[in-house]
Amino acid sequence: MDAIKTDNLTKHFGKLTAVDGLTISAAQGELFGLVGSDGAGKTTTMRMLAGIMDPSGGEAWVLGRHTMRDSEAIKNDIGYMSQRFGLYPDLTVMENIHFYADIYGLPRRGRAEKIERLLSFSNLTPFRKRQAGNLSGGMKQKLGLACALVHTPKVLFLDEPTNGVDPVSRRDFWRILYQLLKEGVTIFVTTAYLDEADRCNRVGLIHKGKLLACDTPTNLKKLMRGIILEIRTADPRLTARLLRNRFPEASVGLFGDRVHLVTGDPDTGETTVTPLMKSEGIELRGIRQIEPSLEDVFVSVLSSQDGAQ
């Protein structure tokens, strides 16, 4: 049985279609990532799955229960961590966890042992008496996760849990998620970080409410048409602009100090890019063919979708 399943799930806000006929599934014990830019429909999807928001059309099930008809029953078996998790800044770490334990009706018997395990699990034991408002961003996210786990959910919904968190805290957070997977918890996570999507068992790429593709990260990379040339120059922004003008039908992406050009001709670098940089007086520091990342795939799929419209 799928832990999560949607069938043509749709949500309208007036004339805006936030989620457009979404059909996906996540198996029990799977780490499923829904990936897209801001405004893609990720948060709206998660709220419908968690039973917080009713869809305008279509249906969804969590652990075999209908998200509308059985919403109250579902809440007993899921943990939900929103982008702005409701921590109380004036309460300590322990007081916040106890507060959520009370909300979920966790029995007093055995509660202390469970909370101690959560503190250890999230590396928050040294900060148990610290007020939540005085925690770092990464620690707040870990505390939010501990609160969401206090009632031992079978499915965990995480809405962009590492947004704005430093790289070290992001790594620690994902280490905790992997431990949960070993315990059989199904995790549904939304993220705008394509590098994080590589950590998921399967990934759904969503844009403007529509699912563009859904598969394992390895299989998604096979959707890439052509090859990727990574171009390094003294002025990457100008380089990207020139390449977009020179190759209007191609996918050109700016990745930090590097420019990625998707092309069907492996000789493009030598025959076109090099002469173009020379004619514009831009120092060319290197060109090489690289393996596609999920970010490359997302840009490529998005470009092909836009071109088909």
Would you list the domain boundaries of the chain? Answer: 2-220, 227-291
Name the DSSP class of 283: P
Print pLDDT tens along the chain (309 aa).
799 999 999 999 999 999 999 999 999 999 999 999 889 999 999 999 999 999 999 999 999 999 999 998 998 899 999 887 688 999 999 999 999 999 888 898 889 999 999 999 888 999 999 999 999 988 999 999 999 999 999 999 999 998 878 888 888 889 899 999 999 999 999 998 888 899 999 999 999 999 999 999 999 988 887 889 999 999 999 999 999 999 887 888 888 899 999 888 888 888 999 999 999 999 999 999 998 888 888 877 877 666 555
**Tell me, what amino acid is at 13?**
F
Give tens-digit pLDDT for 71-123.
Answer: 989 988 999 998 876 889 999 999 999 999 998 888 988 899 999 999 998 88
The confidence score (pLDDT) of residue 306 equals 60
The CA distance from 141 to 266, in Å, is 44
The confidence score (pLDDT) of residue 305 equals 67
The confidence score (pLDDT) of residue 297 equals 86
């052509």: which residue's tokens?
226
The CA distance from 172 to 138, in Å, is 9
The CA distance from 220 to 197, in Å, is 11
**Tell me, what amino acid is at 304?**
S
Asked if domains 2-220 and 227-291 share a fold, the reply is no
**Cα dihedral angle (122, 126, 132, 133), rounded to 10 degrees?**
-120
Q: Which two tokens stand for residue 49?
A: 């799955």
With 0-12 / 13-18 / 19 or more C-beta atoms within 10 angstroms meaning exposed / middle / buried, residue 91 is middle
Strand pairing category for 31-35 and 186-191: parallel
Helix pair angle (137-149, 93-103), 10° resolution: 30
From the CB of residue 167, how many other CB atoms can be counted at a distance below 10 Å?
9
Which of these CATH numbers, 3.40.50.1220, 3.40.50.20, 3.30.70.270, 3.40.50.150, describes 227-291?
Answer: 3.30.70.270
Q: Name the superfamily (CATH) of residues 2-220.
A: P-loop containing nucleotide triphosphate hydrolases (3.40.50.300)
User: What is the model's pTM?
Assistant: 0.85
Helix pair angle (137-149, 111-121), 10° resolution: 140
The confidence score (pLDDT) of residue 116 equals 93
The confidence score (pLDDT) of residue 192 equals 85
